[in-house]
């Protein structure tokens, strides 16, 4: 048997790291690396839950429409095996109307997979009557088969070694139409993998979504017309307990049991492993509600389990399809263990990872499940195996962020005050308390900010929506100068005040201003004094010059007289 095909792909750009897929994956077959989800193919059971729950449509089913179109171009006889759940997916459309629509797309013929279901249920009845088996688990659901092959290998002996209805029907078609190609259409992801694993039986698989998109592409829509009643009890197969409804009751004293949902199937397999179940035929379906709750129907068809069941039940008959039952050996199907498990880490490795996640003692292990794993220990094991990252632990990230922010708040020299929209103090750091002579935060928490400072700036920012940046204020009550910024965080509806104490700077500035003023005053005095001296000198010089002039004049006169 080949390795698992990649039926599910991931749009990396769409993955938003929400961990919803891992939370809903029953076998945790998803790995996170580089903040992106990756499906672990050899662990996946293709139940499609990740596809169903992904809110960003990051998970995609590989589309085989083009493959089918190529088959139609290359072969005259391409025959559809249509899953009986189609009546729940296409409201009011019977097999005759679906056949007309599919033939218009180019298919040679259309038959119901319920024909193959009839063949399979007859083989189950033979096994119960003739084979001496303690427990028989139905093998119609490929996801259940993968679950047992990968996670419960000890229970492989109880898995019915019989082909699925899809395979039985396509084998029957190819026997009746030599050279024909077969295409299965249904609500299941895993059938794509089953068809590829067991080559030569089913040539291609389409989901109802792919078929609907093809109809839209051709501007077609199946007519809402129910056909005449036919004997078709096997149409019950896509419902929970549907296989049991078609089988003869009470064969050889067996207990009949129907289970749906992977978790319920896993619980039953554990019970079998523990020896608690005997002489039992168990119908297992991975999807809740069985095939009418299939991943494609659940994703794109409004989930109405009661209505869908009633639709299927009303369409089903009370007798079996007439079939030519093949020799039981031709229906045999071998299932083998699929190795997938990584080596379990040591206790020391697990403990080291738990410590890195901030889990130093059992009471630290919240087991909140936000990362997608049921317990912190499971998450630690996944980290050791390279399937998860420490950053997926939301409580760890929250504590780390709070610790980091607390460190900044506590150690910043700036005062921080956080107010709600009622201007009540929600948080105040140590630097702000020192500025305002507040001994304990509890003294002001919940109190109106007016108790400790002027609220006008906070009111202005709240009313106008315009933040204040680096405004110089004087806190008269505390004889301090400060530089204030007020920001309104609309998301949290909080007002944040950042206050930088600039008292020392202001005093230093005032000191420098005083020195400058004094210097100017001294300079003015010196200038005034110098001017007076100059004026006095000038005055003295002026008097001397005048006297000299008079004396010379007199001397001149006396000389002239002589």
Question: For position 276, what pLDDT does the model report?
Answer: 94
Task: Look up the CATH architecture of domain 412-501.
Answer: 2-Layer Sandwich (3.30)
Question: For position 96, what pLDDT does the model report?
Answer: 93
Question: For position 1, what pLDDT does the model report?
Answer: 37
Strands 78-82 and 181-186, bridge-based pairing? parallel
Tokens 């001294």, residue located = 522
Rg over alpha carbons for the chain, rounded to the nearest Å, is 44
The count of C-alpha atoms lying within 13 angstroms of the C-alpha of 510, restricted to the half-sphere facing its C-beta, is: 7
Contact 459, 379 (CB under 8 A): no
Question: For position 3, what pLDDT does the model report?
Answer: 39
Domain spanning 1-62, CATH class? alpha beta
Tokens 């067991």, residue located = 198
Question: For position 4, what pLDDT does the model report?
Answer: 44
Question: For position 55, what pLDDT does the model report?
Answer: 85
Plot region of 351 (φ>0 → left; ψ -120 to 50 → alpha; else → beta)? alpha
User: pLDDT tens, 349-375?
Assistant: 888 888 888 888 888 788 887 777 888
Model pTM score: 0.71
User: ∠ CA 472-474-478 to the nearest 5 degrees?
Assistant: 140
Low-confidence ranges of the chain (pLDDT < 50): 1-5
Tokens 């000038």, residue located = 538
Domain spanning 347-399, CATH class? mainly alpha
């Amino acid at each position: 048997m080949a390795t698992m095909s990649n039926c599910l792909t991931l749009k990396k750009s769409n993955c938003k790291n929400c961990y919803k897929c891992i939370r809903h994956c029953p076998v945790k077959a998803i790995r996170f690396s580089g903040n992106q989800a990756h499906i672990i193919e050899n662990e996946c059971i293709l139940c499609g839950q990740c596809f169903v729950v992904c809110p960003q449509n990051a998970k995609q089913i590989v589309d085989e429409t083009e493959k089918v179109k190529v088959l139609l171009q290359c072969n005259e006889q391409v025959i559809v095996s249509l899953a009986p759940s189609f009546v729940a997916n296409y409201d009011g459309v019977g097999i005759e109307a679906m056949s007309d629509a599919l033939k218009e797309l180019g298919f040679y013929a259309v038959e119901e997979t319920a024909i193959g279901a009839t063949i399979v249920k007859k083989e189950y009845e033979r096994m119960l009557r003739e084979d001496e088996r303690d427990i028989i688990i139905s093998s119609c659901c490929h996801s259940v088969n993968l679950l047992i092959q990968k996670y419960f290998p000890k229970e492989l002996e109880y898995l019915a070694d019989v082909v699925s209805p899809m395979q039985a029907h396509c084998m029957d078609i190819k026997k009746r139409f030599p050279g024909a190609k077969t295409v299965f259409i249904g609500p299941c992801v895993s059938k794509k993998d089953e068809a590829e694993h067991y080559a030569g039986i089913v040539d291609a698989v389409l989901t109802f979504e792919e078929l609907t998109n093809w109809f839209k592409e051709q501007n077609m829509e199946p007519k809402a017309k129910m056909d005449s009643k036919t004997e078709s009890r096997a149409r019950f197969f896509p419902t929970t307990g549907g296989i049991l409804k078609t089988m003869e009751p009470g064969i050889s004293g067996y207990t009949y049991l129907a289970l749906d949902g992977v978790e319920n199937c896993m619980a039953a397999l554990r019970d079998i492993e523990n020896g608690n179940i005997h002489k039992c035929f168990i119908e297992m379906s991975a999807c809740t509600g069985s095939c009418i709750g299939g991943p494609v129907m659940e994703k794109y068809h409004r989930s109405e389990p009661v209505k869908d069941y009633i639709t299927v039940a009303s369409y089903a008959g009370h007798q079996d399809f007439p079939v030519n039952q093949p020799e039981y050996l031709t229906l045999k199907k071998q299932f083998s263990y699929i190795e997938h498990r990584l080596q379990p880490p040591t206790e020391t490795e697990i403990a080291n990872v738990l410590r890195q996640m901030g889990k130093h003692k059992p009471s630290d292990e919240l087991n909140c499940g936000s990362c997608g794993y049921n317990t912190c220990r499971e998450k630690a094991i996944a980290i050791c195996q390279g399937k998860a990252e420490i950053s997926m632990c939301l409580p760890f990230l929250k504590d780390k962020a709070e610790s980091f922010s607390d460190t900044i708040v506590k150690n910043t020299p700036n005062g921080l005050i956080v107010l709600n929209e009622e201007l009540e103090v929600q948080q105040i750091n140590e630097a702000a308390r020192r500025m305002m002579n507040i001994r304990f935060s509890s003294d002001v928490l919940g109190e109106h900010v007016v108790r400790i400072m002027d609220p006008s700036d906070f009111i202005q920012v709240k009313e106008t929506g315009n933040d204040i940046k680096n405004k110089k204020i004087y806190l008269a009550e505390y004889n301090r100068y400060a530089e204030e910024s007020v920001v309104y965080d609309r998301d949290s509806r909080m007002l944040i005040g950042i206050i930088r104490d600039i008292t020392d700077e202001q005093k230093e500035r005032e000191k420098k201003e005083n020195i400058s003023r004094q210097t100017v005053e001294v300079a003015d005095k010196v200038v005034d004094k110098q001017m007076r001296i100059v004026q006095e000198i000038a005055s003295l010089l002026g008097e001397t010059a005048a006297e000299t002039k008079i004396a010379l004049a007199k001397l001149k006169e006396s000389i002239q007289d002589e």
